[in-house]
Homo-oligomer: A and B are copies of this chain.
Amino acid sequence: MKISLGTDIGGTNTCVGSVSPDGKVLHKETFATSDYSDGTAYANHLAEVVRTVISQTESQQPEIQFEWLGLGIGAPNGNHRSGCIEHPPNLNFKGITPLVELMQARLKLPTVDLTNDANAAAIGEKKFGAAKDYSDFIMITLGTGLGSGVFVNNQLVYGHDGFAGEVGHISVIPDGRYCGFGRRGSLENYCSATGIRRTFFEMLAQLGSPTALDHLNIGELNSKDVADAAEKGDLVAIATMEFTGRLLGEALASTALVTSPAAFFLFGGPVKAGPILLDPVRKSFEQHLIPTYKNKIKIIESTLPMGNAAILGAAALIAQ
């Protein structure tokens, strides 16, 4: 059986999994990314965990002959072109870590490949998810941030320097919310899970009414609380989801104009809110499209499983 390995590097945890040709995770290991403040020490441990995943996968099905195709890595600020993680804001090892080179030196695998997490998700959706039949599409991942991966002509777009697909940073409200980097008003500060939380506070300010979430600590409130409250009819939460959907729909309508995708695939916690978010997204999207684009472009929920999506995406980098 031809097996790919996928590694998802998150700010908190790193997951490594072995993935079958039909997109099943056979064995998975997790360790704390945040324990490592040095890229080389991290690479040493990652190589060890990869070897554990290989041996565990093989020992679980000793009757099968495994062919290990390679290791795909999805990481924040992962640059496919250079094979390096470059100045990741959310990892403890800063600067430039040549992770592909470090892993090639430590593992006997035919291929090691790296890209950023949202690009990996896009490749995963194409290989194992709902985007199989799409040659031109854009993947949008909603989490702490808002990531994206752009497919044109069946190929992921890397751009001139490997960093294409950063739709989360497009400007949606001039002089809007503070974003870090000294920038303001970018999409991810409104429409990521974190953005939804911020919008809830804005709606509390605007509407001034009591809500079903008044018993929660301010620091604890998250986008799922807001989605659940909206589902149960809380007006402030509903206003939050509608505002989020309206703005995301408008931003996707702008983004569509660059590469004219046949679909957007949406992935992540907030997408699980379902119609209470997606109905306003679709309505606003159509409203903001120019006539030649109307009623042509789908907005589709990702079918990648939440827990293993990033591993599948990273593995798809090898399996594609």
Contacts and interface: CB of A to CB of B under 8 A. Distances in A.
Contact of A258 (B77, B150, B262, B297): B150
A257 B135 contact: no
24 contacts: A77-B292, A87-B292, A134-B160, A135-B160, A152-B159, A153-B155, A157-B258, A159-B261, A160-B260, A160-B261, A160-B262, A160-B296, A160-B297, A161-B262, A163-B293, A164-B258, A166-B260, A167-B258, A170-B257, A172-B174, A173-B174, A181-B291, A183-B290, A259-B259
A157 B138 CA distance: 14
Contacts of A155: 153
A34 interface: no
Q: State how many copies of this chain the complex holds.
A: 2
Nearest to A179: B290
Interface stretch (A8-16, A123-131, A247-255): A247-255
A279 interface: no
A231 interface: no
Interface in A36-57: none
Interface-centre pick from A77, A152, A159, A253 (highest chain B CB count, 10 A)? A159
Contact of A250 (B86, B174, B258, B292): B174
Given A254-B171, A290-B166, A259 B150 contact: yes
A86 B17 CA distance: 49
Contacts of A255: 258
A157 B150 CA distance: 12
A189 to B, nearest CB: 13
Interface string A264-278: 000000000000000
A169 interface: yes
A23 interface: no
A6 interface: no
A292 B260 CA distance: 25
Contacts of A166: 257, 260, 290, 292-293
Contacts of A172: 171, 174
A213 B147 CA distance: 47
A288 interface: yes
A80 B239 CA distance: 42
A70 interface: no
